Amino acid sequence: MDSAKKILSLEELVKVVEALRQEGKTIVQSHGVFDIIHPGIIQHLKEAASLGDVLVVTIIKDKDVRRGPSRPVFPDRLRAENVAALGMVNYTCVVEDEIPFECVKRINPEIFAKGQAYKDRDRKMHEKIFREERELFLGKSRIIETTGFSFSASDIINHLLDLYSEETKLFLDDFSKKYTFHEVAAAINSLSDLKVLVLGDAIIDEYHFCTPMGKSAKAQLVVNKFLTHEVYPGGVLAVANHVAAVCSKVTLVTMLGREDARDEFISKNLRPNIKKKIFFREDGPTVVKKRYVDHYNNQKLFEINYLNDRYLDRDSEDEVITFLSGEIPRYDLIMVADFGHDFLSQGIIQALEANTRVLAVNTQTNAANYGFNFITKYRQPWFVCLAEHEVRLAMRNKTQDIGIVARELCQTLGSERLIVTLGKKGSLGLDQAHDLIYTPIFSPKIVDTVGAGDAVFSYTALCSAKGLPLDLTSFVGNMVGALAVQIMGNKESVEKYAVLEFISSILEPGKMRLPQRAELSR
């Protein structure tokens, strides 16, 4: 068959497979990224084809590949063409994988063939899928693990592509000598039992994608044509979703406006393990930020905010304080995502300080609060995560070395631990010993920086509350940040398994080995 005719849409493939099944054919499916067709892939697919009559291969779309920055190397169209060119493959299809293995339930093969990459490195990450919840993800399909040698595409790419600077390579070499992947994975998995309350400003992020048509004939402006728009849960909603990707039970406390509340949208876009306590203010809308974006290069053109930036009335403030005073003692960690949109009044902050054992705070500077939302309005927050410019604004220190400024801020606040994100320079962390730990950046590819700070705050606060070492906390934070900047706004959370896969791919490159002659002859 012409290889081009092997490439079908998912809907077409489901129909073809059902017809073949009616003819008595046994359907075998393999699923993955297939970024590089190496000897391990060939052997896996040959064995998979031998298990039945028809081999279908589903290929994960670019947007759902969770192998870290600069992956995939090849776009999904080319990956599909490469797989379709293999003689043992009957059909191939590019599929979404936002819900892992969702396509397997649609295709419903008699046999699902998984390769050795899962066996050697990803088994713990996927055991929930392959053992505990196999029917939820894979339906009634029989799972067979092929016996070919392990040969990871991630390892090949890490060896052959020069993704990182010499400084970053040296850092990773030193870090991998101190921590194994399994130790890091165990530390991240240990966060699941933390009881967390997340408090802060709810924001609805709207992205309106357009394309420029030309200059207006009557004004000094560029006229754009609207193409499409997307809406994401932002602010504290995004933080709660990130935390709930790691922790089993999370409580969200926030305030919406009665005017254009968006409460139904919020409920639909929060993870099911988030318990909500929502207050309403009568004098304004839920905060909405509309960004207009050039669809070609993802450049933001301008932004409009819908908000009431006045503090709550006294009755509303008292209602929030009463709730928090009774609720806070039940939690291991209270996380505050303060975007300066005047939900968190001084009275609410004082109630937090009076009742909280472990308080983690992120105060963000944005156009709506510039110069008015400093971390210094909090007294002795246990953990603080800020961007460099937010540290400098709080300390009114524009030019001095950021390490010195961060030390001064940590002393001023009386915080146990501080993480400062430095953009392209990575991050620095310090604690009461005031030893600075610099961690380099791991994100050579950037789609959108909006929401990256929320993701870093979410994971580093959890790591800090669990008592993980500062260097490990900073490393995890930068890994999360590298994944977050590949996501448009807060369209998706940074998933725990994506973090683990990324960490595994860069901490274990030395495990790549060439197959021995005896293995090749099997």
Q: Where are the domains of the chain?
A: 3-160, 185-202+240-277+316-509
Higher pLDDT among residues 146 and 232, named by residue: 232
Mean local confidence (pLDDT), 455-481: 96
Report the pLDDT value the prediction gives residue 307, as an integer from 0 to 100: 92
Rounded Cα gap, residues 384 and 337, in angstroms = 11
pLDDT above 50: residue 133: no
More confident residue, 331 or 135: 331
Q: What pLDDT does residue 508 have? A: 67
> What residues contact 125, with CB distance under 8 A and at least 6 apart?
185, 497, 500, 501, 504
Q: How far apart are CA 513 and CA 437, in angstroms?
A: 33
Q: How confident is the model at residue 215 (pLDDT cuts 50, 70, 90)?
A: very high
pLDDT at residue 180 above 60?
yes
What count of residues does the chain have? 522
Lowest mean pLDDT, pick from 117-126, 214-223, 495-504: 117-126
Mean pLDDT of 125-152: 57
pLDDT of residue 413: 95
Q: Which CATH number fits domain 185-202+240-277+316-509: 3.30.420.130, 3.40.1190.20, 3.40.190.10, 3.30.70.1280?
A: 3.40.1190.20
Phi, psi of 366 (to 5 degrees): -140, 180
* Token code pair at residue 247: 């922790």
Residue 204 has a CB neighbour count (10 Å cut-off) of 24
CA-based nearest residue to 15, from 101, 91, 97: 91
Type of residue found at 174: D
Alpha helix segments (H runs only) across 181-337: 181-189, 236-244, 263-268, 314-327
For residue 69, the model assigns a pLDDT of 61
Say which CATH topology domain 3-160 has: Rossmann fold (3.40.50)
Peptide bond into 75 cis (omega under 30): no
Which tokens sit at 27?
Answer: 């359907």
Between 504 and 423, residue with greater pLDDT: 423
The answer on pLDDT for 126 being more than 80 is no
Average pLDDT value for residue range 141-157:
64
pLDDT of residue 31: 92
**How much is the average pLDDT of 22-42?**
89
Task: Look at residue 138 and tell me whether its pLDDT is greater than 60.
Answer: no
Indicate if the pLDDT at residue 499 is higher than 80: yes
- 450 vs 448: CA distance, rounded Å: 6
Greater confidence, 68 or 59? 59
Query: Comparing 65-74, 94-103, 199-208, 352-361, which segment has the lowest mean pLDDT?
Result: 65-74
401-457 pLDDT, tens digit per residue, is 999 999 999 999 999 999 999 998 999 999 987 679 999 998 867 778 888 999 999
What is the pLDDT at residue 443?
Answer: 80
Arithmetic mean of pLDDT, 151-173: 67
The yes-or-no verdict on residue 399 having pLDDT over 80 is yes
Question: What pLDDT does residue 318 have?
Answer: 95
On the question of pLDDT at 511 being above 50, the answer is no
d(CA 145, CA 490) in angstroms, rounded, equals 36
Give the mean pLDDT of 494-509. Answer: 82
Q: Over 60: is that where the pLDDT of 328 sits?
A: yes
% pLDDT > 90, the chain: 65
Section 276-290 average pLDDT: 94
**DSSP strands (E only) in 84-169:** 91-95, 111-114, 142-145
Q: How far apart are CA 506 and CA 172, in angstroms?
A: 8
469-480 average pLDDT score:
96
SS3 content of the chain, % helix, strand, coil (to 5): 40, 25, 35
pLDDT at 262: 95
Mean pLDDT of the chain: 87
What pTM value is reported for the model?
A: 0.76
Q: What is the pLDDT of residue 311?
A: 84
185-202+240-277+316-509 has the same fold as 3-160: no
